Amino acid sequence: MSDVTNAANAAASQPGGVDERYMVPGLTRGLAMLAAFTAEQPALSLAELARTVGLTRSSAFRIAYTLAELGYLVRDETTKSYRLGPRILGLGFAFLASIEIVEIAQPHLVALRDRTQCSAHLAVLDGTEIVYVARHADQKALTSHIQVGSRLPAHATSMGRAILSQLSPDEVRARFKDAPLEAFSKTTAITLDDLIAQLARDRAQGCVLSRSNFERGIASVAAPVFDAEDAVIAAINITTPESTLSGDDLETRIRDAVVETAATISEWLGHPGARRSA
């Protein structure tokens, strides 16, 4: 018997548990049938489904037929076995989309902080600014004014550039057409043409590396985060005092860790090519 059926039976046996009057048997059996598929058993015959769910072959056939017609199962006409269908992916992506990106990213940001010994952050784009939505400070970090909710200019910061680099030039121009591009260092783009060119280089590189580009003495690496529709929805970065870096760590070991973490978070959000592009 499947975990779904077992869970329903267990809940029903508890005081205040499931009220059988409101249960829909057909739905329970259908979900139990979907739960029967595992990584070890990706394909099941009708007889195996009936046995696993505890149904007669005729009852199992009607449920399997319905699920196949709706796209949740696929029947192999050669082997006469069933597999999970593409509609299941839609359910999975809908579930992931319902979870706040911060919740998904948190453990990966903590791991990135511990791996690099640098502060790790997550930000989203709002107009021409980025908004910090998660921050995990490293123990060696100096006192910082950056907190969750802090806003910084997107055109001049590593996470802002990482997000903007994934937008079309037309969208970038539309966002900044009435916004002055303030200079924070000699590397800051202060015209739209310069910004577009800089973002093209960022996109080709796949990440943004900064040494004192926004704040003197502070180094960072940022990478974009994508959702299931291949749309950029956020960026992550690490920051650390330049004085704590050894050699080319920022451009090698730390860069690789940031890019890999961004790909992992994107993968958890359903992005199809996240791991291949890491």
Average pLDDT over residues 125-148: 82
**Which of 21-30, 82-91, 147-156, 177-186 shows the lowest mean pLDDT across its residues?**
82-91
246 has a pLDDT exceeding 90: no
d(CA 161, CA 164): 5
Confidence at residue 229, expressed as pLDDT on a 0 to 100 scale: 86
Give per-residue pLDDT as tens, 185-208.
Answer: 999 999 999 999 999 999 999 999
Neighbours of 57 (CB within 10 A): 13
Domains of the chain: 3-85 (1.10.10.10), 96-277 (3.30.450.40)
Please report, rounded to a whole number, the percentage of residues in the chain having pLDDT higher than 90: 63
159 has a pLDDT exceeding 90: yes
d(CA 165, CA 174): 14
Neighbours of 150 (CB within 10 A): 16
Enumerate the β-bridge partners of residue 221.
209, 238
Residue with the bigger pLDDT between 170 and 15: it is: 170
Q: Count CA atoms closer than 13 A to 126's CA, side-chain side.
A: 10
Average pLDDT over residues 94-106: 74
Confidence at residue 257, expressed as pLDDT on a 0 to 100 scale: 96
d(CA 238, CA 236): 7
Q: Which residue is listed with tokens 């989203």?
A: 124
And the tokens for 195?
């910004």
Confidence at residue 95, expressed as pLDDT on a 0 to 100 scale: 61
In what order do the strands lie in the sheet containing 43-45? 43-45, 81-84, 73-75
275 has a pLDDT exceeding 50: no
Amino acid symbol at 200: A
Give per-residue pLDDT as tens, 69-85.
Answer: 999 999 999 999 999 98
Average pLDDT over residues 38-67: 93
Question: Strands, DSSP E only, in the chain?
Answer: 43-45, 73-75, 81-84, 119-126, 129-136, 151-153, 208-211, 218-226, 232-241
And the tokens for 189?
């783009």
Confidence at residue 195, expressed as pLDDT on a 0 to 100 scale: 96
d(CA 134, CA 148): 6
